[in-house]
Every structure is written in C-alpha cells, then in structure tokens.
C-alpha cells in the first residue's frame, strides 16, 4: 500500500527550521518560523500561563471528556476577547480546535459542506498553509492582489478591483491583523470599504486572527474582525491562542461562526460539533482551560495583558531600530516600511537569490519570499541584519 504514496514537498517554513538547526555556525540568526523569542532567543512560558497551569494542577479533579465543542467557558471567554459585545451571543456558534490551523481547517470543511461551489479567495500572498489546505480539500480558489512590491504596503486598488469579481456566496479569507507573511495591513477606513464591497457582492468573510495583541494592542487588533462581524450577516472567524498566550504546542484555537440569527446559529453549531467528531472527536482541552483561567481571573488577566504588551512593544522597538539602522546605512527612507508593518513579520522584498546570499554569507535565515520574523532579532543582531540586507543588494 505505502509504495503507492507520492513524495510530499516539505512545508517551506518547517523545512527552514530544520536547515537552521543543522547549521553549525554559532552566530546564525533564525528569522524563520513565526514563534516569539525574547532577547535571549528563548520562547518563554508566560507568567500567567505558568500560574494558571499551577492552579489547574492543584484544583483539576478530572480529565474526562469535555463537550464536542470544547468547554463552553472557553467559547464564552474567547467570544468576549475577539468580538467584545459586537454581536449577540446567540448568533455565535463556536468550537474549540487544535490551534488556529485547526480552526481554519474546520472553517474550510464547513464551507465545503454548506457551499461546495463557493470559491475561497485568498490574498496574494497569504500564509502558504492556507493555500495548501484549500488545495488538499479540493475547494475552488482564487487570489486577490494584496501586496505592493514597490511600496511594501497594501495594493489597495488592486485588492478592491479583484474583490469586485467575487460572486455571491463566495468566501473571502482576510487576515484580521498582522498580515502573514507581509506585515502590511489595511487602514481602518480601508476595512470599511472592503466590508461594504463584500456586503454588496454577497460574500462571506473568513477572518484568520492568529496574532491578536501582536500589532497595535488587544482591542485594536480585534477592531477589524469586530467590524466584519458587526457589518455583515454571516462570517467565520478562526482565532489562535498560540502566539498571544505563547502556548504553541498546546494547540489552542477556536472557530466562531456568526450566523444571521439564533436559529441558524444552532444549526451551524450542530454542524461544527459534527465536524469535530469526524475529524478528532473532542478538541484538546489543556491549553483552552489555561486560557479560560487567565481570561476569567482579573489578576491573571492583567498580568497576561501586561506581559503581552511587553512582547508587542519589544517587537515594535526592534522594527524601529532596524528601520533606523537601514536609514543610516542606505541614506534613504526606503526601508521605513519595516517600522510601519505590524505583527511578527515583514516581507522585505528581497529576491530568492538575495535571501539565499544572506543565509550563505551571514547565517541569516528568512523564508524564501523574504518574510522575516522580527521577534527572531535582538538589539545586537539588528545591525548585523541591516548590514546583510545592504550587502545582499536588497
């Protein structure tokens, strides 16, 4: 049987992790996979997470199954974190999922069940796994322009022109904040225009919110998602707790479906439960329970928010330092976009050859499309990167 299997192309981001590990150079710099690292290169367990885990260890008296949708308290806490009071709770169906990727996968499966003919529109570029899962599920897909190579900002005119071709019932995948891989994001007024266009076209948005709290702050980063949910009859939201709670390996995420009314939300909920049952039965619980413990305890929540702010500000500081450094080295403002981008990533606009040169000559690892993880830097490595960018002729 297994001899019939075809070779699989490895995931580019995960392959880069491996190549980095195998590089013997001591001064190598990992700007690949989207994992937060502090100035010493560690991905720490957040203080509130440690405290919540301790509390759970002391008080949890069973590990029996939760419901198929996960712990209802997790659903309520995440609905509040992501949506605030934008939509009535009775309109929201939700399932806990294995990470944000699990939420994206379940969203796409729901779309395939409800509207098999719908095309899923993705930004060009998008997180490569979006395209990969869509292809794997055989879902019709198309892309809309997003990144302007010249300005390294959003090609908003191109985006609007392409979204103008979306058919009624099609799905448009949007990054709620901190666009991956580019770091370029829509302005608030541009979100309004996108929402009006989706409404006019009768499209259903699928918002991927993987970096809430990494851009401009917890509620600022949810603002676009809230506008989408508040402005349209239906939408899907895949939210991840991997980055903002730093619990990557716990696989904690949620899929929310905002339905037209309570009756449709109930039917949608039953379908989401069904999908969990088919794919893995009950969702993982430990990370979700840690998140719920933090979000529902005022002291833990305050400490988590404070540490998340430290993380966010450290990335902003590195962005500014890198942009300043490049300003000095190039005597120009052409890298100022790095300070305007938000989240973990910036696509710096290097060619694959330049990316390869930086890896070979300076031991700097970024994804082949020149996406770099800002959190992989520290105050000492920023000038090294700046010099390598200039030496590679970017």
- Give the binding site for ligand LMR (CB under 6 A): 13, 33-34, 127, 129, 180
- CB of 131 vs ligand LMR, minimal distance in Å: 12
- CB of 161 vs ligand LMR, minimal distance in Å: 27
Angle, in degrees to the nearest 10, between helices 298-330 and 286-296: 100
Which is closer to ligand LMR, CB of 126 or CB of 268?
Answer: 126
Q: Find all residues with CB under 8 Å of 119, minimum gap 6, and list them.
A: 140, 141, 142, 166, 167, 170, 171
Cβ distance 69 to 272 under 8 Å?
Answer: yes
Which is closer to ligand LMR, CB of 127 or CB of 214?
Answer: 127
Which is closer to ligand LMR, CB of 129 or CB of 330?
Answer: 129
List 107, 238, 243, 386, catalytic entry: 243
List 30, 52, 94, 127, catalytic entry: 127
Pairing of strands 253-258, 92-97: antiparallel
Please give the radius of gyration of the chain, using alpha carbons only, rounded to the nearest integer: 21
- CB of 179 vs ligand LMR, minimal distance in Å: 11
Please state, in angstroms and rounded to a whole number, the distance separating the CA atoms of residues 136 and 138.
5
- Is 333 catalytic? The answer is no
121 Rama class: left (phi>0) / alpha (psi -120 to 50) / beta: beta
Please state, in angstroms and rounded to a whole number, the distance separating the CA atoms of residues 199 and 317.
38
Which is closer to ligand LMR, CB of 46 or CB of 68?
Answer: 46
- Is 37 catalytic? The answer is no
Map residue 254 onto helix, strand or coil.
strand
- Is 210 catalytic? The answer is yes
213 Rama class: left (phi>0) / alpha (psi -120 to 50) / beta: left
List 148, 162, 170, 208, catalytic entry: 208
- CB of 127 vs ligand LMR, minimal distance in Å: 5
Cβ distance 323 to 183 under 8 Å?
Answer: no
Structure tokens at 51: 């405290």
- Is 306 catalytic? The answer is no
- CB of 57 vs ligand LMR, minimal distance in Å: 28
Residue whose C-beta lies closest to ligand LMR: 34
Which is closer to ligand LMR, CB of 112 or CB of 243?
Answer: 243
Catalytic residues: 127, 208, 210, 243
């Amino acid at each position: 049987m297994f001899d019939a299997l075809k070779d699989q192309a490895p995931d580019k981001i995960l392959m880069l992790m491996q190549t980095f590990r195998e590089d013997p150079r001591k001064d190598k710099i990992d700007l690949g996979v989207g994992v937060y690292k502090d100035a010493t290169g560690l991905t720490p367990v957040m203080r509130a997470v440690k405290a919540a885990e301790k509390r759970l260890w002391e008080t949890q008296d069973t590990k029996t199954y939760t419901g198929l949708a996960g712990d209802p308290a997790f659903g309520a806490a995440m609905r509040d974190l992501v949506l605030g009071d934008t939509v009535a709770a009775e309109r929201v169906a939700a399932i806990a999922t294995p990470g944000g990727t699990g939420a994206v996968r379940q969203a796409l499966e729901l779309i395939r069940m409800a509207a098999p003919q719908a095309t899923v529109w993705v930004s060009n570029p998008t997180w490569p796994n979006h395209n990969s899962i869509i292809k794997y599920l055989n879902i019709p897909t198309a892309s809309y322009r997003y990144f302007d190579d010249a300005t390294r900002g959003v090609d908003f005119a191109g985006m609007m022109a392409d979204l103008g071709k979306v058919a009624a019932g099609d799905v448009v995948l949007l990054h709620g904040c901190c666009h991956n891989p580019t770091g370029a994001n829509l302005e608030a007024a541009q979100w309004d225009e996108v929402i009006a266009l989706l409404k006019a076209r009768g499209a259903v948005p699928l918002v991927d919110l993987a970096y809430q709290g990494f851009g401009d702050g917890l509620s600022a980063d949810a603002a676009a998602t809230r506008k989408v949910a508040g402005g349209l009859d239906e939408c899907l939201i895949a939210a991840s707790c991997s980055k903002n709670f730093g619990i990557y390996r716990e696989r904690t995420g949620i899929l929310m479906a905002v339905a037209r009314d309570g009756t449709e939300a109930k039917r949608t909920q039953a379908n989401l439960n069904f999908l969990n049952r088919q794919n893995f039965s009950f969702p993982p619980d430990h990370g979700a329970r840690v998140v719920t413990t933090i979000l529902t305890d005022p002291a833990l929540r305050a400490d988590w928010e404070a540490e998340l702010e430290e993380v966010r500000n450290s990335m902003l500081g590195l962005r500014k330092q890198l942009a300043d450094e490049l300003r000095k080295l190039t005597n120009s403002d052409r890298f100022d976009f790095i300070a305007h981008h938000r989240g973990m990533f910036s696509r710096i606009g290097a060619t694959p050859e330049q990316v390869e040169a930086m890896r070979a000559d300076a031991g700097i690892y970024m994804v082949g499309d020149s996406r770099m993880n800002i959190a992989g830097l520290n105050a000492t490595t920023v000038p090294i990167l700046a010099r390598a960018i200039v030496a590679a002729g970017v």
